[in-house]
Amino acid sequence: MDDFMRIIIFFTIMFIGCFSAVACGIQLKLFVNNIVNSNNNYEYTIQERDIHDSIFNICIRDKTHLSGHIIDCRGALSFRLVDSVNNLQIEGAFVNGLDTLTGQTLSIDVVEQKGKIRLYKYFEPLQNGIWKYKNLKGKLLKQRIYYDGVPDFLHDQK
């Protein structure tokens, strides 16, 4: 078997392995801050049912859609958020979070009147690269650069 075929097989195994981890219940929590209007930030948890062939396209609230491409199952992804109500588009990327995190939810059985805490695993990716904030016509309103979750305020463009 030649080297080229070995490389193809290796990347195929890596690709399948990555998305089997998403299928195992790993979730991605995204926080998209709105530097144009800080009173209107966006938060969403991408779950397995939201992902189709590494692509997601989700309505996160009335007239607000989040779409993108997942690069790997630990949170690296590119995205585009369109908020028709607030005349805003946000484009950017995330890199892998630092570690797997654990969250909890409380479920209550109303018949037996008992509560149960359920734990789940998730990744919280870090903002990275150039984030562009535009109106719906495409006019650039602001631009910010992030380095592994840290904003570079000195080079903000208005």
Dump pLDDT digits (tens) for 19-63: 333 443 567 888 887 777 777 788 888 888 888 878 889 998 888
Domain ranges in the chain?
3-157
Per-residue pLDDT at 12 exceeds 60: no
Query: Can you tell me the distance from the alpha carbon of 77 to that of 75, in angstroms, rounded to the nearest whole number?
Result: 6
> What is the 3 state secondary structure string of 53-106?
CCEEEEEEECCEEEEEEECCCCCCEEEEEEECCCCEEEEEEEECCCCCEEEEEE
Categorize the per-residue pLDDT at 139 as very low, low, confident or very high, splitting at 50, 70 and 90: very high
Stretch 67-85: mean pLDDT? 87
Determine the residue type at 32.
Answer: V
